[in-house]
Structure 1
Amino acid sequence: MLPPAKAASLLSLLLLTLPHSTLAAVLGLDAGQQNIKATLVKPGIPLEIVLTKDSKRKEAAAVAFKPTLSSDRKSILTGAGQFPERAYGPDALALQGRMPGEVFAGLKPLLGADLQEVGKDWVMDSYKAKYPAVQVEQVNELGTTVFKSTAFEDSEVPWSVEELMAMEFASIKRNAETMAGKGSGVEDVVLTIPPFYTAMEKRSLLRAADLAGLNVMGLVSDGLAVGLDYAKTRTFPDVSKDGKPEHHLVLDMGAGTTTATLLRFQGKTVKDIGRFNKTVQEVTVLSTGWDRTLGGDALNEIIVKDYVHKFLTKPVMKSRGIQADEIEKNGRIMSRLWKEAEKSRLTLSANTETISTFEELLPEIDFKTKLSRTEFERLTEDFAARVAVPINVALAMSKMDYKDLDSVILHGGLIRTPFIQRKLEALVKDPQKLKSNVNADESAVFGAALKAAALSPSFKVKEIRDSDVAGYASGMYFPDGDREKRQGLFTPQSPVGHGAVTKAVSFNNKEDFEFHLYQQIGSADQGIATISTTNLTESVKALKDKFGCEAADVSTKFEARLSPLDGLPEIVSAAVSCNTSAVIPKAGSIGDSVKDFLGFGKKKDQEPLADGEAAEPGPTEDVEASSTTSSSTSGSASPSAYKVPEKPKKRIETINIAFTVISRGLPQPSAEETLRMKTRLAAFDASDRARLAREEALNVLEAYTYYVRDFFDNTDYSSVSTAAQRDAVSSLLATTRTWMEDGAEVAKSTEKTLKEKLSGLKKLVEPIQARRKEGEARPEKVKAFKETLEKTDSLMTMVKEQVKDVAKAKSEWAELQSSSSASAAEAAASASATPAADTDAEPVGEDAEATTFSSTSTSSATAEMPKPTTYSFTPEDLTLISGVYEDVNTWFTSQEAAQNKLSAHEDPVLLTSDLQAKEARLQDVMQQLVAKKLRFANEYAGGQDRSASSSKKSKTSSKSKTSKSSKTKKSKGKGSETASGNGGSVTPEASKAAEKGKKGPTFITMGADGQMPTEEEILKAVRENGAEDGEGEEAGEKGHDEL
């Protein structure tokens, strides 16, 4: 085993090397009938609501197709592979007044709806009543509801409800990715669902998410999601320490439905790593109740019917003979009535009456009406009685009463309705139990995001063990001779998730067969899947042939559970086995000895853990061959000898059964059909991106045409252009504007076409603009360039003089050396002729030092030319600066002459950008030469300081202190000044840059007369800078000593 420190290091390395997909953001998505909300969880963004493009916290659940109209706006342009513009949320709803048949809203009730089922006609009837202009129908062959759009050709395949929902999900996904930041993908999601969702509805929702490019990690019921959000900041009594669990009922009343979820909240002490324990929070759904039609839309429908009734009573309506059908089948009118009904209902929650006004509801007919809260409650009195039904059902299933509840947690917009509040107070009999301690609009989506973060390996969240319920009873049925046998598996209250059980079902079948899984929806059974074995017959034959099994001893067993993903029953494994007798080695054989020697432990150590024991997770391996397990165990064996074999014992031979699963119920799309839908959606997305790019190009072109139009009003451009050039611009501008006024041509144009037209205008206009810009900026640039040219000439003159002086000094030194060579030879001969007084004696102290110095000085005086104290420019330096100067000066002279010959309307040859580049070249060569001088000066000053320091060591302490004090005062007095003279100046920063060999910015400052700084001024600056550095070094050394 690795030491703890190494194990921690290895874990850290593992986390750093996780693939990007495991570190991606996750999403909680609450898809309601009226609105869609999403919450993003990402490192650095904990539980943040995803905002819409309008910065709203929720998006209207609607998508619309905006057809492409002809230039006269009287017909719709369609074509193969052509897609209309899409709008989402409030932008889509805004189109209901003009094109109600192209707005698809409130799609949730149609997901997985089997309209052929008895009692399900109300789903389609309610949808058509609210959206009469939408072309919607149920296609049994496809197993889904489809929508026809006039924005496409008649031959276009209708859009399924799953595809339209996928568009809404994809829009939310894009908003989440925008919020997460560039490069962050959002794919993993947890979706909320009502507790009454059947297998068909769940599959339809999962298919919509898949088409949108989302990976569904799990489905969570609305009530459980609210419970998770409620529990995230709370700690509940520990039942392991005799604590009493809390019971809360979540009442969720939304736009379409009402659900009641009874939850148990408790803490529990469980085993943690090693010998430690930990306390976790548990949120368990005990039971649920619901009303599929009790929601805000049902109350809105009552108000709409009241509007229609009052509208028909107007005398003008009676005189025209207008009937209710003429209004109720008019999409534009109904969209206005439904929108106003929603507004009125919300107003009556806070006010006692509301007034609604409709202008031109019908041609030349206005409508105005008043609705009071009393009248509204009279119209909806039947709905008040229905509020108690879901609550009573949930309590009855768990055999509890209102007095057993700790609170009723209110969620959903309909909760705010006054008569519902009064009804709940009467039911609970204790108004204090009605709690608004969660966000009534966003609690469910926060709970979904919390579960998504818990399921993701990228996040560590508070450990809350949640458990949902199945919602419906389920089981299996299979043929048994001439009759059909049924076997129940799970009840409506069977747990899903934490605490879920796996059921083992035995069959007597010895040959391949099939059976069916079903859900009990009301009094009817709805098929879920058909399970067919593929190798049962062969496996039974193998047991007989290889192991001698008798047919009576063969048993076929399947294991079923409720899926943690969607809560539907599923088969997780199957096997056929038999009891047989065979001679097997007694436990404690040489195999066990080897295992014990290698550290695998005794056989007891390898036995399965008892219930409640924790086991370390390990990989799961798919087994395709048969496996044998013994029915008996014995003690360990001695590693030094074999044991005597025991008598034959019973054991179980097992072979895994392969099986296939075929979905039942509504027809599911094939792989080819799914690919077709994904391909079409991808093409629609590409069309949207191309349209946005085209619209941007169109806006840029339109703005540029307005700019060019104003361009001619500016007389400044007249001097830099000819009449012919201006006429060419004017002609092209007129042609472009005429083309843009043709809506049909613009509609058919591509981004490339628009950019080409913009480029054509710019080719004529930009040269004129460039000439004006160059003409205005050139004088100042030329002036600055000439100044730099003069400075370079001054420095070049200095370099020439120094090169000349150095050459002269070297010549004089050579003559001096020649005249003194004879004298030096005679002195050397005389010295060698004098005998030494004592060859073993060595000078000591100051005499020894003086002798050494004298000897060295004599030798160097006769061998080398004295080293200069300042840098002298070399012939190479002169070649460098003169070459650059001549090249730039020649270029400027020729270009300036050529420019002077040009007229203002001709393209310039002396460009400001070229002047800047040439000026930078001159500055660069000057910087190089001055930097050489500064580096030499710093090196020389450093050598002087080292020599002085060496001399100080041989002197007395008092002299050393006096010298240091004097030096410190001088450096403090001058360290911050710059050396300057009548000419230029050099800052200490320049010395530092030169010492470090950095090119850096130019630190040369010319004097008022344009002269370069003298060598003395350069040295002065360097010495002062050196004094500051020395002071810093002394301080540093002192600090080091103290350490």
Structure 2
Amino acid sequence: MSVDLGSEWMKVAIVKPGVPMEIVLNKYACVYKIRPFKVCLARGPISAAVLALKGRGEQSTGSALSSRNSEACGSNEITPRPGPGGCNEPISFTCTSHSVPIEKLLPLKVTMREKLPLLALFCLALALFPSPTASVAVMSVDLGSEWMKVAIVKPGVPMEIVLNKESRRKTPVAVCLKENERLFGDGAMGVSVKNPKVVYRYIQSLLGKTADNLQVEHYQKHFPEHQLVRDEKRGTVYFKYSEEMQYTPEEFLGMVLNYSRGLAEDFAEQIIKDVVITVPAFFNQAERRAVLQAAQMAGLKVLQLINDNTAVALNYGLFRRKDINATAQNVMFYDMGSGSATATIVTYQTVKTKEAGTQPQLQIRGVGFDRTLGGFEMELRLRDHLAKLFNEQKKSKKDIKENARAMAKLLKEAQRVKTVLSANAEHVAQIEGLMDDIDFKAKVSRAEFEALCSDLFDRVPVPVQQALTASEMSLDEIEQVILVGGATRVPRVQEVLLKATKKDELGKNINADEAAAMGAVYQAAALSKAFKVKPFLVRDAAIFPIQVEFSRETEEEEGAKGLKHNKRILFQRMAPYPQRKVITFNRYTDDFIFNINYGDLSFLSPDDQKMFGSVNLTTVKLSGVGESFKKHSDAESKGIKAHFNMDESGLLILDRVESVFETVVEEKEEESTLTKLGNTISSLFGGGSTEPAANVTEPVQDEEEVPPEAGKDQEEAVEKTDEAAQEQSDKEEKGQGEKSKEEPQTEEKKSDEGSDKEEPQAEKEPEGSEKSDEGKAAKEEEKEAEKKPKPQKKSKISVDIAVELEVNDVLNPSSEDIDISKKKLQDLTDRDLEKQEREKSLNSLEAFVFETQDKLYQDEYQAVVTEEEKEAISTKLSEASAWLDDEGYSAGTKELKEKLTELKKLCKAMFFRVDERKKWPERLAALDSMLNHSSMFLKGAKLISEDDQIFTEVELKTLERVINETMTWKNETVAEQEKRSPTEKPVLLSKDIEAKLSLLDREVTYLLNKAKFAKPKPKPKPKDKNSTSSENGKTNSTDSEKVIPPKDESNGAEEVKPAEEPPTEENKKEETETEPTIEEKTEETTGDDDSQAHIGDEL
């Protein structure tokens, strides 16, 4: 083996017969390198450049040194026997959390000469390598209206959907809040039928919404049992269950995200912090900020908010990477879930990148949506229909719609009936004890269901038309339409879609439920630094246009001043992101204000516009503009530049605002070559200053920007740039690069031409050497006059402008509000953990009482206790059982643990005696077997002849002494135990037997290893009779064999290998045509090499 020992990573390689050179995988079976490097020393010689950890149990390298190796990392209780190397003391190294004795891991030994260098080497290794293993697992949460799916990826585990506590692959987004209990998922849904007031669902529709939003009104209509109250500070709403229990939608979402992280951590068996969350593509800025705030309350680090349609498209493209080429392929994804419907047109094709070459890319070309079209609306229609049927049966005088509990039961039954009707023409809805102990039963057909939802089915094609309009495509350009989401399983939805898209069939070759979660977790792995994945470029699109609005004073003809309102589009509809934009204000010399708002939203329906919220995003107040102009009054102003960034999550960020000036820089006279070289060397050795100046001065560079004062033609050019931002940016970058390359080339060309013209003059100077110095000076002045004046060099000066932002759509919670929400959620989590701990203690106490009462009547326990002990134990158990029935269920965790500890202490002696008697047969049989094998080994070792003996007399006597002592101890202890009563404390203990076994095994293993690696002594061959000695001391022999040199002459060479065959033409040809491999070689020796072959055989 070999070990490539780096400062952070190590790589291990091996070669063995039949296996060529191969990198060794670590315990995760997918990672070729290990970090961190925790080393546990052990006795033994260490080969050069090889650090082999060959423990008898698990390896203890890297993160594998865990609790599973606690036995191997315990204290050293075995005194090592003296060996040939003279090492008499064990060496143990303290790793991060374990003190590891050497003997536990390697059956080797370290000599005193090797000990100090080894200690220095591994002290250095432990100082260099970090000990704690960083959390490398990442997760994704597909956050739907009704369900959520969680996926993870970690070393050794590819992309995988997380199972919840009920072993299901999806979990309801529901939170149940009682006074002393909190439930999630299926547990909360079970409570929703009994007490719907304490279960909160479909909270996603309230994120980032003000109290007057139409969607808040719809939510209150669907869930009248909840009390929504206006937040006077932010203008949003919060749920009020009581004066003590008041929670915002963001806090409920934070609870759900925290619960999803708990599921992922249980599945991954490690802490997870990084997450990618899916959101609907139609989420605006306020809604996206609300999701990030909820994740912050849950303590999660959001790597990205990815649109769910983009995540689905990414998952689809990942498994069809080979089918993607330079030809654009347009695919439509129609996603209808529980709460909304979205149609997305995606273009797949390969593109060339500077970093990774040609890679596949998906680009969102068009998106259409309906915020309220989904399976939940169909279920509500069916629920109301079932309520109508119940009222028509007139089994109760009360209206069922006034009973929230009965309506919750009908909604649950409507969900089941809708699912069944997708595969059946009719079905019977039935509920036992629907209201006032009255059973309900009614038949529902698919035709009735489709009639109830006819207006919903008419809205199904609308997102398709919106997506086509946004992408400026026709249906003929769409190659395939793929269904996503649970509601697309409704037959009528598929029929309408098939007719609207004019396709022969709809694609169902993707997991409609899990595609978004799997695509998001792949993106999480790509964004994480712990994983390396194949690049797949993603270019998302902003659905809602964003513009900048500002006003400035203008002079009219009569001299009066007017106010002109200007609008400049920052991001067009379907503009790709992530993307950066710069807008320049050229006519401001003092502090001013501008607004960031949404652009033209006329493509939205009237209801969507009411649900959208405020179209005003942010008011930006700039201060310090006038001061910058006063400070740089002698410089030319290039305007006030505002730098915007729409990041990967679709959030618009104002990075900075700067006032830019241009000034002329005086060029210094050209320095000599030696001076330049000296300055360069001095700067390399710290001569130059690295601290930036107060005002950064940079060379002027062309920058793509959105000019606010542009005319109509320029506006159209900007819009055109927004529509094809990627292609345009690539061309501009390429053009800038070519320009920067061409400019120095042009200068060089000019200088070369000048030098060519001057060369003849330089060559003529020696001919006119007789001329006077005055003539030469005149010529030089004429040359300087002929030189053309060089253009002035300009530099850019940037001054940062102070920015004050005022949010206009939905106010963000303050940092104090975030901290309060975090504490509120943490208190709930602590309460849940305390409740779980109490339930665990209560269950443990109950189980111990019942099990022990049963064991008292078993023969093996009755044999080891006296009647008095049995009576005392039985009495205490009866008292504990009675206490549990009366006071135990209200007792605290501490009291329950104390009761359990008291009972265990009372029964400890009885359990110990029974446990020892169970272990005796197996342990004694193992000891007898070890004694037999050790005796046979000792007998065989003594029969070895003196010339071939590899063991010393001390070693054989030591083994014999250990065998005799062990046998004597065993016979005496067993005899003593037989004299004792079963009710007394045993003298024969299993731990003592194990110690004797370990001692014998250590001695025998030491001798076996010595025999395994020992080399037989070479025997000198008798001289041949025909051999003669010459005067010069050389020996001539008639045979081809040579005499082995004496021991003192060959001392220092471990092995003499036969000479290698000389290379032939055939061997050279094979070496050039085949890959390098390592094989077992057997070489044929010639007569000249017989002596060397003979020596090799002897060795």
TM-score by length of 2: 0.64
Q: Mean alpha-carbon deviation: is it higher for 720-729 or for 357-366?
A: 720-729
Q: Which amino acid letter does the alignment assign opposite residue 537 of structure 2?
A: R
- CA–CA distance in structure 1, aligned partners of residues 330 and 925 of structure 2: 87
Shift, 1:915, TM fit: 6.2
When residues 526 and 876 of structure 1 are mapped into structure 2, their CA distance, relative to the original with a 3 A threshold, is closer
Between the aligned residues of both structures, percent identity stands at: 28
Q: Which residue in 2 is equivalent to 1:912?
A: 989
Shift, 1:204, TM fit: 0.7
Asked whether the 8 Å contact 2:916–2:990 carries over to 1, the reply is no
Q: Which residue in 2 is equivalent to 1:53?
A: 165
Shift, 1:203, TM fit: 0.6
Structure 2 residue 256 is the aligned partner of structure 1 residue 168: yes
- CA–CA distance in structure 2, aligned partners of residues 872 and 419 of structure 1: 88
Q: Which residue in 2 is equivalent to 1:997?
A: none
- CA–CA distance in structure 1, aligned partners of residues 486 and 137 of structure 2: 29
Q: Which amino acid letter does the alignment assign opposite residue 530 of structure 1?
A: T
Q: Of 927, 946, 950, which aligns to 2:1020? A: 950
Q: Which residue in 2 is equivalent to 1:749?
A: 892
Structure 2 residue 523 is the aligned partner of structure 1 residue 451: yes
Q: What is the DSSP-based 3-state SS (H/G/I as helix, E as strand, rest coil) of the residue aligned with 1:186? A: coil
Q: Of 102, 108, 112, which aligns to 2:208? A: 112
- CA–CA distance in structure 2, aligned partners of residues 1036 and 55 of structure 1: 69
Q: Mean alpha-carbon deviation: is it higher for 723-732 or for 890-899?
A: 890-899
- CA–CA distance in structure 2, aligned partners of residues 873 and 448 of structure 1: 67
Asked whether the 8 Å contact 2:963–2:1000 carries over to 1, the reply is no
Shift, 1:518, TM fit: 2.1
Structure 2 residue 677 is the aligned partner of structure 1 residue 565: no
Q: What is the DSSP-based 3-state SS (H/G/I as helix, E as strand, rest coil) of the residue aligned with 2:369? A: strand
Q: Of 551, 557, 575, which aligns to 1:495? A: 575
Shift, 1:155, TM fit: 5.1
Asked whether the 8 Å contact 1:353–1:372 carries over to 2, the reply is yes
Shift, 1:693, TM fit: 3.4
Shift, 1:140, TM fit: 3.7
Q: Which residue in 1 is equivalent to 2:140?
A: 28
Shift, 1:868, TM fit: 11
Q: What is the DSSP-based 3-state SS (H/G/I as helix, E as strand, rest coil) of the residue aligned with 2:472? A: coil
- CA–CA distance in structure 2, aligned partners of residues 879 and 485 of structure 1: 102
When residues 306 and 657 of structure 1 are mapped into structure 2, their CA distance, relative to the original with a 3 A threshold, is same
Larger Rg: 1
Shift, 1:378, TM fit: 1.4
Asked whether the 8 Å contact 1:286–1:493 carries over to 2, the reply is no
Shift, 1:668, TM fit: 1.6
Asked whether the 8 Å contact 1:27–1:40 carries over to 2, the reply is yes
- CA–CA distance in structure 1, aligned partners of residues 921 and 370 of structure 2: 84
Shift, 1:201, TM fit: 0.6
Q: Of 420, 426, 429, which aligns to 1:353? A: 426
Q: Which amino acid letter does the alignment assign opposite residue 753 of structure 1?
A: E
When residues 584 and 419 of structure 1 are mapped into structure 2, their CA distance, relative to the original with a 3 A threshold, is same
Structure 2 residue 824 is the aligned partner of structure 1 residue 680: yes
Q: What is the DSSP-based 3-state SS (H/G/I as helix, E as strand, rest coil) of the residue aligned with 1:255? A: coil
Q: Which amino acid letter does the alignment assign opposite residue 669 of structure 1?
A: P
Q: Which amino acid letter does the alignment assign opposite residue 496 of structure 1?
A: P
Q: Of 707, 722, 731, which aligns to 2:851? A: 707
When residues 465 and 883 of structure 1 are mapped into structure 2, their CA distance, relative to the original with a 3 A threshold, is closer
- CA–CA distance in structure 2, aligned partners of residues 284 and 926 of structure 1: 70
Q: Mean alpha-carbon deviation: is it higher for 413-422 or for 441-450?
A: 441-450
Q: Which amino acid letter does the alignment assign opposite residue 46 of structure 1?
A: P
Q: What is the DSSP-based 3-state SS (H/G/I as helix, E as strand, rest coil) of the residue aligned with 2:640? A: strand
Unaligned runs of 5+ in 2: 12-31, 37-129, 554-561, 603-608, 683-689, 703-742, 756-779, 1028-1036, 1042-1089
- CA–CA distance in structure 1, aligned partners of residues 154 and 1010 of structure 2: 54
Shift, 1:175, TM fit: 2.5
Q: Of 371, 388, 393, which aligns to 2:461? A: 388
Q: Which residue in 2 is equivalent to 1:339?
A: 412
When residues 56 and 890 of structure 1 are mapped into structure 2, their CA distance, relative to the original with a 3 A threshold, is closer
Question: CA offsets, 1:230-275, max 9 Å, x none?
Answer: 22233699997xx4x33332211111111122223333345567xx
Structure 2 residue 587 is the aligned partner of structure 1 residue 508: yes
- CA–CA distance in structure 2, aligned partners of residues 160 and 1035 of structure 1: 92
- CA–CA distance in structure 2, aligned partners of residues 10 and 770 of structure 1: 48
Asked whether the 8 Å contact 1:264–1:283 carries over to 2, the reply is yes
- CA–CA distance in structure 2, aligned partners of residues 470 and 558 of structure 1: 23
When residues 364 and 894 of structure 1 are mapped into structure 2, their CA distance, relative to the original with a 3 A threshold, is closer
Q: Which residue in 1 is equivalent to 2:907?
A: 765
Asked whether the 8 Å contact 1:40–1:47 carries over to 2, the reply is yes
Asked whether the 8 Å contact 2:470–2:574 carries over to 1, the reply is no
Q: Which residue in 1 is equivalent to 2:536?
A: 464
- Mapping for residues 518-557 of structure 1, pairs under 5 Å: 518-520=597-599, 525-544=614-633, 548-549=634-635, 553-557=636-640
Q: Mean alpha-carbon deviation: is it higher for 106-115 or for 649-658?
A: 649-658
Q: What is the DSSP-based 3-state SS (H/G/I as helix, E as strand, rest coil) of the residue aligned with 2:193? A: coil
- CA–CA distance in structure 2, aligned partners of residues 496 and 591 of structure 1: 50
Q: Of 734, 739, 744, which aligns to 2:883? A: 739
Asked whether the 8 Å contact 2:35–2:133 carries over to 1, the reply is no
Q: What is the DSSP-based 3-state SS (H/G/I as helix, E as strand, rest coil) of the residue aligned with 1:97? A: helix
Q: Which residue in 2 is equivalent to 1:229?
A: 315
Asked whether the 8 Å contact 1:631–1:650 carries over to 2, the reply is no
Shift, 1:543, TM fit: 0.7
Q: Which residue in 1 is equivalent to 2:298?
A: 212
How many corresponding residue pairs? Answer: 819
Q: What is the DSSP-based 3-state SS (H/G/I as helix, E as strand, rest coil) of the residue aligned with 1:357? A: strand
Q: What is the DSSP-based 3-state SS (H/G/I as helix, E as strand, rest coil) of the residue aligned with 1:496? A: strand
Shift, 1:532, TM fit: 3.2
- CA–CA distance in structure 2, aligned partners of residues 10 and 697 of structure 1: 44
- CA–CA distance in structure 1, aligned partners of residues 503 and 614 of structure 2: 40
Q: Which residue in 1 is equivalent to 2:115?
A: none
Q: Which amino acid letter does the alignment assign opposite residue 310 of structure 2?
A: L
Q: Mean alpha-carbon deviation: is it higher for 294-303 or for 231-240?
A: 231-240
- CA–CA distance in structure 1, aligned partners of residues 935 and 513 of structure 2: 78
Shift, 1:62, TM fit: 1.5
- Alpha-carbon RMSD across the aligned residues, in angstroms, is 5.2
When residues 157 and 1039 of structure 1 are mapped into structure 2, their CA distance, relative to the original with a 3 A threshold, is farther
When residues 724 and 385 of structure 1 are mapped into structure 2, their CA distance, relative to the original with a 3 A threshold, is same
Structure 2 residue 196 is the aligned partner of structure 1 residue 100: yes
Q: Mean alpha-carbon deviation: is it higher for 781-790 or for 50-59?
A: 781-790
- CA–CA distance in structure 2, aligned partners of residues 44 and 351 of structure 1: 43
Q: Which residue in 2 is equivalent to 1:77?
A: none
Q: Which amino acid letter does the alignment assign opposite residue 770 of structure 1?
A: F
Shift, 1:567, TM fit: 2.1
- CA–CA distance in structure 2, aligned partners of residues 793 and 436 of structure 1: 72
Shift, 1:528, TM fit: 2.5
When residues 591 and 222 of structure 1 are mapped into structure 2, their CA distance, relative to the original with a 3 A threshold, is farther
Q: Which amino acid letter does the alignment assign opposite residue 573 of structure 1?
A: R
Shift, 1:311, TM fit: 1.1
Unaligned runs of 5+ in 1: 1-5, 69-83, 601-619, 797-801, 803-866, 965-1033
Asked whether the 8 Å contact 2:697–2:795 carries over to 1, the reply is no
Q: Which residue in 1 is equivalent to 2:368?
A: 289
- Mapping for residues 578-977 of structure 1, pairs under 5 Å: 578-581=661-664, 583-585=666-668, 594=676, 625-629=695-699, 635=747, 646=790, 652-714=796-858, 717-718=861-862, 720-742=864-886, 745-750=888-893, 752-771=894-913, 900=979, 905=983, 907-908=984-985, 910-913=987-990, 916=993, 949-954=1019-1024
When residues 950 and 1038 of structure 1 are mapped into structure 2, their CA distance, relative to the original with a 3 A threshold, is closer
Asked whether the 8 Å contact 2:923–2:990 carries over to 1, the reply is no
Greater fraction of residues in helix: 1
- Mapping for residues 115-264 of structure 1, pairs under 5 Å: 115-116=211-212, 120-121=213-214, 123-149=215-241, 156=244, 158-180=246-268, 182-183=269-270, 185-234=271-320, 243=327, 245-264=328-347
Q: Which residue in 2 is equivalent to 1:41?
A: 153
Q: What is the DSSP-based 3-state SS (H/G/I as helix, E as strand, rest coil) of the residue aligned with 2:273? A: strand
Q: What is the DSSP-based 3-state SS (H/G/I as helix, E as strand, rest coil) of the residue aligned with 2:211? A: coil
Q: What is the DSSP-based 3-state SS (H/G/I as helix, E as strand, rest coil) of the residue aligned with 1:666? A: coil
Asked whether the 8 Å contact 1:534–1:659 carries over to 2, the reply is yes
Shift, 1:30, TM fit: 1.4
- CA–CA distance in structure 1, aligned partners of residues 426 and 936 of structure 2: 92
Q: Which amino acid letter does the alignment assign opposite residue 512 of structure 2?
A: A
